[in-house]
Structure 1
Amino acid sequence: MTVKLNREAYDHAKKLVREGKVVRDVRDDWSEHAPSTDDLSRYLEGEGEAEYSRWFLGVDDDADGEVKARYKFPFSDLEKVHRCAVISGESRASQYNHDEIRDALGDLLKRIDDSD
């Protein structure tokens, strides 16, 4: 599996942080704040793949089948960037050697923390 940085999503996330559309929560909150599978399905059906993809920092071009399987490393609740999602994603990206994604998430975390 080759997961690459989704640059459009990264730019989108940076814009949201600049606009103050951030939830400053802690790492363990992501399990409660993450959108449900049903929420993600409704969003994809209503908005389409292009809009859906903007909420995920990783994209796996080798993934076959379901659109949702292509997108990895969510950073939001589909409205605001969640600090807890960024922290969790950074740890996971590091664990699986997705260095470019890890670095992007580290940058987002710094931007969030510096905007306090």
Structure 2
Amino acid sequence: MKFNEDASAFAARLIREEHVIADGKGAWSKDRPSAEEENQFIRLHGFGEYAKWHLGIDERYGANTKRRYKFPYGDFKNVHRCGLLAARSRARQYKYSDIDDAAARLIELIRQRK
């Protein structure tokens, strides 16, 4: 699993621009985009933009496949704190320290903006 530095920088910019929802742990299951919302976003914006919403890249899969992009953190409009918490938990579980650290930094950035 490769850490997606561009996605982390994009998320930080969105947080600084106040495109963030500081929701609680566990909200991600209802806040995350549905498969249809993902497909519509890809149709409108392409996989390059889709990639920016994921902190991990699984290079075993082609660039134009949804399976390639892991650890989503937002709804294509806002960064969700609950998405970052979920990404961090999963990254820690699988020992992806770069992704875990990035999610932690982004969570801290959300905390500091209050």
Structure 2 partner of 1:98: 96
Gaps of 5+ in 2: none
Partner of 2:103, secondary structure, is helix
Structure 1 residues 51-104: Cα deviation after superposition (integer angstroms, max 9, x where no partner): 111110100111259610000000101110000000111010000011100000
Structure 2 partner of 1:45: 43
Alpha-carbon RMSD across the aligned residues, in angstroms, is: 1.2
Normalised to the residue count of structure 1, the TM-score between the two structures is 0.94
Shift of the 95–43 alpha-carbon distance from structure 1 to 2, 3 Å rule, reads same
Shift of the 65–20 alpha-carbon distance from structure 1 to 2, 3 Å rule, reads closer
Distance 1:33 1:22 in 2: 12
Normalised to the residue count of structure 2, the TM-score between the two structures is 0.96
- The alpha carbon displacement at 1:9 in A equals 0.6
Gaps of 5+ in 1: none
1:11 aligns with 2:9: yes
Query: What is the 5 A alignment of 1:76-115?
Result: 76-115=74-113
CA contact (8 A) 2:47 2:63 kept: no
- Number of residues of Structure 1 aligned to a counterpart in Structure 2: 114
- The alpha carbon displacement at 1:45 in A equals 1.4
Distance 2:64 2:50 in 1: 13
Moved more, 63-72 or 12-21: 63-72
Structure 1 residues 10-48: Cα deviation after superposition (integer angstroms, max 9, x where no partner): 110000011111101001110010000000011111111
